[in-house]
Structure 1
Amino acid sequence: MIRRTALTLGMLALLGTTAHAQSSYPTKPIRLLVPFAAGGTTDLIARVVADPLGRELGQPVVVENKGGGGGAIGAAETARSAPDGYNLGVATVSTTATNPAINPKIPYNVFTDFTPVVNIAATPNVIAANPQFAGKDYKSFLAEVKKNPGKYSFGSPGTGSIGHLMMEMFMLETGAQMIHVPYRGSGPALNDAVAGQIPLIFDNLPSALPFIKEKRLTALVVAAPQRLAVLPDVPTLAEVGAPNVNRMAYYGIVGPKGLPKDIVDKVNAAVRKVLKDPAIRKRIEDTGSLIVADTPEKFAQEIKAEYTAYKNVVDKQKLTMD
């Protein structure tokens, strides 16, 4: 009886220590891993949020980039991390839907290896062209690529990335045929599109918009709920008859599986508070993005819905990683 009581008291003490450690979280800097190279939309949104989030939590939030594999390399590192709240990752449609949908060897399970924390924002996507490309608007672009199947290439952040599978979805909808050129993130792909090494790119709007504003890229069509104030003359994919491709991209925060609920709730609350700041909202919304700031449960539902949509594209197009 004495031994059992001692064990019980010991377990209660341990639980109390654990609970105290979690309630005092964080006590050291937090790493926020961006699974793409610097310069893309994922990196941009992470850096807008990181500093104010660190101030809100009382510890620095340090952004680290680890690109490659359409986001899979960085996402896998987040999945392997200890569930202590000090290694979080930015989750995108590429890392949690498109890449897993196309790659059976991806080193994580989207539904069991992550803990969704919060969806920060949703961004429009855009098909853009180098100014030297023959098509200067959506109608002439589609006519040109359909007249010359397999002649033109498009860049994306990597095989299995959202830019890759959204263009595959677009080709499935329109009957166009283009050649995919994968990169290690949006930044390098954009640089080659601007330089004319590739004529076309399907990218998230925030990273492409500066080049579009400078007329170094030409926006042809956007994936957004409605025409955008920053590109009022550019139609949406729904307008031009490709409604299934008219999808936004999300940028959220996840942790590894087993992340304690109180840590999830604390980070979620802190992010949502940060996103109420008019200055932070403006920086994100100026890119054409929409603030989401939802619950962990809602974010988990969004991940499942996007995975299902892109798995359908992979199956219909018979896409592989080769």
Structure 2
Amino acid sequence: MKIWKSAGLALLVSVAPLGAQAQQASWPAKPITIVVPFPPGGATDVMARILAPKIEKAVGQPVVIENKAGAGGTIGTRAVANAKNDGYTFLWGTVATHGIGPNIRKNSSYDAVKDFTPVVHVVDQPYVLVVHPSLGVSSVAELTSKAKANPGGISAASAGQGTGAHMILEKYQTEAQSTFLQVPYKGAGPAMTDLLGGQVKLTFDVILTTVPYIEAKRVIPLAVTSASRSLALPDVPTMNEAGITGFNAVGWNGIFAPAGTSDDIVQKVNVAVNEALKLPEIKDRIIKDGSIPVGGSPEQFQQFVESELASWGDVARKANVMLD
């Protein structure tokens, strides 16, 4: 009898992993959804749609991009945090959802670390500091000097409170010991419109959407916010080269799964994205748009997210930024 029980237990123990393996082996058996927590047409949405067809080809099922915007990315991010961890729902996360937001929102309604499994770091998206020609400056040093001489007298547009543009401005102000008048807009588009019209004098914006205005000489680029120069703007110095020592602050995109998603599924998506980033047509498109292909392992992405949370937490505390 004891032998039978032992054998039965052994059978149960051996069957359970086989069942789990069978479920993983059959993945995906239906379309996969990637939630982009921002509106269609923005830089984040564009990047997700560039990679989606390649992921789709690699996994053999349709990959659907679902825009679930609102509250600075919080609504879509929370939806994925609460989704089933069966490998059919992923988040196209950003610095806003997993770097800045958790540090400046009193109740973001999700835990950026505990509620998610990092899958892969897709791209970095440097910002570029641009000014209206009427401001009469051609370098970061001149801008900083002018701001110090007239604290709060120079208007700086942002895409909204708590956005990358806002927080990079806060970081610049802190490190340059200067003060600007931050003017928040409902999105980068309206902010750029008023900058082009001269109603505000400067902004930080992603390179993808700013290059056409730079080429048309409607705005003057002073510096990019990444540690190295952008191949899309090779003649524009970095903030570090421009005198703000050690400055490095970029937007970024990465894929997350709900916490508890199978390691096997996570690895399959990770490999699909890493392989896609090596394709010349994908790599060249990303670089042309002013972004930087990254890739790497889930573990590397986990470490990166933790460092971003710490870094932006430091910026938020120094700038005393907290949203309701």
The number of equivalent residue pairs is 322
Structure 1 counterpart of 2:160? 158
Give the Cα separation in 1 of the matches to 2:297 and 2:104.
27
Structure 2 counterpart of 1:193? 195
Give the Cα separation in 1 of the matches to 2:49 and 2:194.
24
Structure 1 counterpart of 2:60? 58
Q: Is the 8 A contact 1:113 1:256 kept in 2?
A: yes
Out of 250, 254, 257, which is 1:255 matched to? Answer: 257
- What do residues 175-222 of structure 1 show as CA deviations (whole Å, max 9, x unaligned)? 221233334543444344345454322122223223323334332211
Structure 1 counterpart of 2:181? 179
Matched, 1:276 2:278: yes
Q: Is the 8 A contact 2:141 2:243 kept in 1?
A: no
TM-score (norm 2): 0.89
Structure 2 counterpart of 1:29? 31
Give the Cα separation in 2 of the matches to 1:34 and 1:191.
24
Deviates more, 1:47-56 or 1:275-284: 47-56
Q: Which runs of 5+ in 1 are unaligned?
A: none
Structure 2 counterpart of 1:207? 209
Tell me: CA distance 1:10–1:157, structure 2 relative to 1, closer, same or farther (3 Å).
farther
Please provide the CA RMSD for this pair. Answer: 2.5
Deviates more, 1:131-140 or 1:44-53: 131-140
Q: Give matches, 1:299-314, under 5 Å.
A: 299-314=301-316
- What do residues 57-86 of structure 1 show as CA deviations (whole Å, max 9, x unaligned)? 111222222233222222222211111121
Q: Is the 8 A contact 1:37 1:186 kept in 2?
A: no
Q: Is the 8 A contact 1:37 1:187 kept in 2?
A: no
Give the Cα separation in 1 of the matches to 2:17 and 2:185.
47
Give the Cα separation in 1 of the matches to 2:157 and 2:63.
31
Give the Cα separation in 1 of the matches to 2:17 and 2:175.
55
Structure 2 counterpart of 1:114? 116
Letter in 2 for 1:82: K
Deviation of 1:248 (Å): 3.0
Structure 1 counterpart of 2:233? 231
Q: Is the 8 A contact 1:154 1:201 kept in 2?
A: yes
Out of 95, 99, 102, which is 1:100 matched to? Answer: 102
Give the Cα separation in 2 of the matches to 1:209 and 1:23.
45
Give the Cα separation in 2 of the matches to 1:185 and 1:20.
45
TM-score (norm 1): 0.89
Deviation of 1:155 (Å): 3.1
Letter in 1 for 2:45: D
Deviation of 1:250 (Å): 2.2
Q: Is the 8 A contact 1:70 1:184 kept in 2?
A: no
Secondary structure of the structure 1 residue equivalent to 2:64: strand
Tell me: CA distance 1:267–1:204, structure 2 relative to 1, closer, same or farther (3 Å).
same
Tell me: CA distance 1:193–1:107, structure 2 relative to 1, closer, same or farther (3 Å).
farther
Taking only the aligned residue pairs, the percentage that are identical comes to 37
Letter in 2 for 1:225: A
Give the Cα separation in 2 of the matches to 1:37 and 1:237.
29
